[in-house]
Structure 1
Amino acid sequence: MERENRKIYLLMVICTVFWAGAFIAGKIGVREFPPFSLAFFRFLFATIVIFAVMFKYEKKDWRLKHRDWLYMFLLGLIGMFGYHALFFTALKYTTAMNSSMIGATNPLITSILAAVFLKEHLGVKRLGAILLAFTGIILTVSNGDMTVLKTFSFNVGDLFMLAAVFCWAVYSIISRKIMDRYSPLILTSYSFLVCLVLLIPFVIWEKPAGYLPKVTWAGWASVLYMAIFASVIGYLVQQVSIKTIGASKTAAFINLVPVFSIILSAIILHEKITGVKLLSAVIIITGVYFNTKLKSLTEASAIKNKTMG
C-alpha cells in the first residue's frame, strides 16, 4: 500500500507539471489562434480521447437522463466554454505567471460560493485563510504598486482570469447537484462535448481560413499538449489519486501548479521572476493550503460525529 501511495504521489507531481504547462502552452497558443478557436481545437481533440476512455470504462452507464441535460448544458457553458474563453483571452494580455497564480485561488472562490449557495460553514480560520490568499491576489494584479488600487488601473488580462476562476467555481458548485448520479468521467466527458458544440459558431466568426494556414508546429503542439496532457491524462491521474489516497490529499497537490508555472514560464517564455511575484505566490499558496486543510478537517469531524451519533 505504501509503495502504491508513493507511485500516486509521484504521478500527482507529474500531473501538476502537466497542469502548470497548460498556462505556458496557452500563452504560446494565443499567439497563433484567436481565443475561441484555440479552445475549440483543444476540446476537439480532448473530447475524442475522453469519450473513447468513457466508452471503455463506463460500459452501459454512460447515457444521460433527460432531466439532467440542463445541468450538463450549464456545466459545459459555464465551466468549460466560459472558463476557457476567458482563460485564453486573459493570456493575450497577461503573463502565464499571473494567470496561474490567480487560477490557484479557485478552491477559495468555490468555498465562498458554497458558503453562500450551499450554506457550507466556513468558520473564522477558513475566512482568515481566504482573506490571506486574496491579499496575494491583490499583490499579483497590482504588481506591488498601490497606485494601481487607487486608480483601479488593473491589467485587463488579470481581470479576465479572475472571471475565468469564478466560472470554474460555479462549475464546481453546479456539478455537486448531479455528481451523485454520474461518475466524474461522465460529467467531464459531456461537459467537454457541450463546450465543443457551443464553440462552433464562434470559431466560424473568427474566420479560421485566415489564420489556420499560418499556424506553426509550435501552435499545434500547444493545442495537443493542452488537450492530451492537461485535459485528459491530468484528469485521469487525478481521479486515480482520489480513489487511492483520498480527495483532500489529492487537492493538496494543486498548490504545486503555480510553483511549476512560475519555473516553466521563466524557462520557456522568459518571463521575469520578481520578488513581488514570489511573495504573491507564497501568500496565495499558503492561504489555499490552509483553507483546503481546514475544510478536510471539518468534513472529517462531521463524518465522525455523524457516525458516533
Structure 2
Amino acid sequence: MNSEKKVYILMITCTLFWAGAFIAGKIGVKEFPPFSLAFFRFLFATAIIFPIMIKYEEKNWKLKKSDWKTIITLGIIGMFGYHALFFTALKYTTAINSAMIGATNPLITSVLASFMIGERLGIKRLGAILLALSGVMLTISEGKLEIIKNISFNMGDIIMLLAVVCWAIYGVISKKVMPKYSPLIITSYSFLVCLIALVPFTLFEKPMEYLPNVTWKGWVSVIYMSIFASVIGYLVQQISIKAIGPSKTMSFINLVPVFSIILSSIILKEDVTLIKIVSVIIIICGVYLNSKLKVNKTKGIVKKG
C-alpha cells in the first residue's frame, strides 16, 4: 500500500471521527449546558495539543506580537462562535440535520471568500453552491412547502447554519497567517483563545450545580470530542494537506453527513427518512462539484477546493 492510499484511509477514519462528534455532542448536551460542554471539550483538547505543538514545532511555536490580533479573532469567531452555536443547535435539532448543514462549510467559505478576499465565484461555482443550499433548505423544511411559506424552520437548524458561517469565516481569515505558521500552531492557539473566552460563560452556567450529576456517558462524549474529533482530527487533516493537498483533503468532508446518518440511526435511533437521504445526496453533489471547479484568480489570490 503506497503512502497516498494510507493518507486516504486516515482521512476516511478522520471523517468518521468528525461524524461521531455530532453524535457525542447530542449526548453531551443532555448533561452539560452548551458553553460548559464546549469548555470541557477544549480544556482537554488544549492540554493535549499544546505539548504536541511545542514538541514538533520546537523553537518556531511562539507567535509574533503582530499576529495575536488575527489569532484572537480566529479563536473567538471560528472556535468559540462555532462550538457555542453548534452545541446550542444540538439542543433543538437532530445530529443528522446538523451534520448535513455542516457539510455546506466549503460552499459558504467560497461565498465569504468572494466578498472578503476578492475570489470570483463564477457561474458554475455559484450553481454548485445553490445546489447544495437547496439540499439544506430541503433539510430544514423537511420537504414541506408550507414551512417555507411560513418561515417556521427548526430553530436548531438555523443556529447550526450560523455556526457554519462562523467556521467559514475562520477558514477565510486563517489565510492571513497560514503562510507564517503551520496548521498545528494556528489550531493550538485558536483552541487556547476559545478556552479562555469560554471561562466566564461557563461560570455563568454554575458548573457546581450540574457537574455532580454528570454521568459517565457525558464525560465519555467530552473526551471523545476532545481527543478524536479535535486533536486527532486536526492532526490527521494537517498530515493530509501536506501529503495530498488541500483540495483532495477538503473533498473528504463530503463523507461526514453520510457517516452521521449511519451513526445517528444506530446509536441515537434517529429516523432516516427519504427526505434526509435525498437532502444529503444533493448537498454532497453540490460540495463535490464546488471542490472540483477551478477558482478564478482575482487580486493574486487563489482558493483551492
- TM interval, short-chain normalised: over 0.9
The corresponding residue for 1:160 is 159
Separation in 2, partners of 1:248, 1:92: 33
SS at match of 1:60: helix
Whole-Å Cα distance in 2 between the matches of residues 65 and 246 of structure 1?
Answer: 27
- Cα separation, 2, equivalents of 1:38 and 1:146: 35
Q: C-alpha separation between the residues in 2 aligned to 1:47 and 1:121?
A: 36
Q: Could you say which residue in structure 2 is the equivalent of 1:77? A: 76
| Structure 2 equivalent of residue 126 of structure 1 | 125
Taking the aligned partners of 1:78 and 1:39, their CA distance within structure 2 comes to: 14
- CA offsets, 1:23-55, max 9 Å, x none? 000000000000000000000000011101101
Alignment of 1:242-257 (within 5 A): 242-257=241-256
1:28 aligns to what?
27
Which residue pairs with 1:307 in the alignment?
none
Q: Is 1:67 the counterpart of 2:66 in the alignment?
A: yes
Q: For the residues of structure 2 that align with 1:229 and 1:13, how far apart are their CA atoms?
A: 13
Aligned to 1:57: 56
The AA in structure 1 aligned to 2:135 is: G
TM-score using structure 2 length: 0.96
Task: State the SS of the aligned residue for 1:282.
Answer: helix
Q: 1:244, 1:73 → 2: CA distance?
A: 29
Residue by residue over 1:162-210, the C-alpha shift from the partner in whole angstroms, topping out at 9 and shown as x without a partner, is 0000000111111111111111111100010000000000111000011
Deviation at 1:295, TM superposition (A): 3.6
Q: Letter of the aligned partner of 2:222 in structure 1?
A: V
Residue 122 (structure 1) shift:
1.3
> For residue 15 of structure 1, what is the aligned residue in structure 2?
14
2:224 corresponds in structure 1 to: 225
Moved over 4 A (4+): none
Q: Which residue of 2 aligns with 1:143?
A: 142
Report the equivalent of 2:178.
179
For residue 269 of structure 1, what is the aligned residue in structure 2?
268
The Cα of 1:5 is off from its aligned counterpart by 1.1
Which residue number corresponds to residue 103 of structure 2?
Answer: 104
In 2, distance between residues paired with 1:72 and 1:242?
A: 21
Q: Which residues of structure 2 form unaligned runs of 5+?
A: none
CA deviation after TM superposition for structure 1 residue 294, in Å: 0.5
For 1:89, the aligned partner's letter is: T
Q: Percent identity, aligned pairs only?
A: 67
Tell me how far apart the structure 2 counterparts of residues 222 and 285 of structure 1 sit (CA, whole Å): 27
Q: Does 1:191 align with 2:153?
A: no
CA distance in 1, matches of 2:48, 2:137: 38
Letter matched to residue 238 of structure 1: Q
Matching residue of 1:306: none
Report the alpha carbon displacement of residue 247 of structure 1 after superposing the two structures with TM.
1.4
AA paired with 1:203? T
Q: Which residue of 2 aligns with 1:283?
A: 282
User: What is the rounded CA distance, in whole Å, between the counterparts of 1:242 and 1:182 in structure 2?
Assistant: 14
Inter-partner Cα distance in structure 1 for 2:45 and 2:154: 31
Aligned residues: 299
Deviations 1:123-150 (A, max 9, x none): 1111100000010010000000111111
Q: Which residue of 1 aligns with 2:86?
A: 87
Alpha-carbon shift at residue 121 of structure 1 (Å): 1.4
Report the 3-state secondary structure (helix = DSSP H, G, I; strand = E; otherwise coil) of the residue aligned with 2:118.
Answer: coil
Alignment of 1:206-217 (within 5 A): 206-217=205-216
Measured in 1, the distance between the counterparts of 2:166 and 2:245 equals 25
2:91 aligned counterpart, secondary structure:
helix
* CA–CA distance in structure 1, aligned partners of residues 10 and 181 of structure 2: 25
User: Which amino acid is 1:200 matched to?
Assistant: V
Give me the TM-score of the superposition, normalised by structure 1.
0.95
Residue 252 of structure 1: CA displacement?
1.0
